[in-house]
Amino acid sequence: MGIRTKISKAIQLRRSDERGRTELDWLDSRHTFSFGDYSDPKHMEFRSLRVINDDRVSPGGGFGTHPHRDMEIITYVIEGELEHKDSLGTGSVIRPGDLQKMSAGTGIMHSEFNPSQKDPVHLLQIWIIPEKNGLKPVYQQISLKNKKVAGLTLVGSRRPKDGVIHIQQDVELFLGRFEAGRKEVYSVSSQRGVWLQLIKGELDVNGQVMSAGDGLAVEETLGLILEARADAEFLLFDLG
């Protein structure tokens, strides 16, 4: 017997073209939740998920050195490269398939630039509110490039594991890569919520058809039926 699902106001679709937007000469950023000059009381956050910015940075452009504190910051590069430097002494280039996490904790300074002079970089930057303030700043980066990822794969967790970024909050983060026609059921535990962010392709979730850039908030639902209508890549956040 398949998992029954409750489909009602418990599932809310956030269309890509309804997001907020910041346009600069070097940046085109779409905001799922209120951020910077974009403020929408209906879209402030989802549980501990505070920011999902879909950024396109022009060649040579980037974010100069700036501070963060008391936030779990996750970066996923979709296309191009992003150069990171921080006050912990970390320097790295984040490439497609890489997942970076920075626990800002008591305070950290960092910069992010597109090192290419000809190619843009496309990335997601995600902020998660940590379980408590005043944590020690930590940097972590993993590569999924040589890891076989088909279906759903755990890539971030509250519980430290090899090959998985450590998120200091009650969150499990999955990377989904579905070939067209693939279908899976994801069980949702009682009292938890799920946010699904579609990066590429087309995905049917409990009858809701998602296109690239769309997000989906899920609560009070026993399970999700995920079916790719075209090759799809997405992030799934299981949140306490």
Identity of the residue numbered 15:
R
Q: Which pLDDT tens digit goes with each residue over 16-61?
A: 999 999 999 999 999 999 999 999 999 999 999 999 999 999 999 9
Checking if the pLDDT of 80 tops 80, the result is: yes
Please state the domain extents for the chain.
Answer: 11-239
First to last CA, the chain: 27
Question: pTM for this one?
Answer: 0.94
The CATH number, out of the four listed (3.30.380.10, 2.60.120.10, 3.30.70.20, 3.30.70.260), of the domain defined by the range 11-239: 2.60.120.10
Asked if 33 and 69 touch (Cβ cutoff 8 Å), the reply is no
Q: Which pLDDT tens digit goes with each residue over 173-217?
A: 999 999 999 999 999 988 999 999 999 999 999 999 999 999 999
CA distance 153 to 233: 11
Checking if the pLDDT of 92 tops 60, the result is: yes
Mean of pLDDT values over 163-175:
96
Q: What is the pLDDT of residue 147?
A: 66
Checking if the pLDDT of 2 tops 70, the result is: no
Checking if the pLDDT of 218 tops 90, the result is: yes
Which residue reads 């497609």 in tokens? 96
CA distances from 185 to 2, 152, 196, 222 (A): 9, 10, 14, 10
68's tokens: 């963060």
Mean pLDDT of the residues in the chain: 93
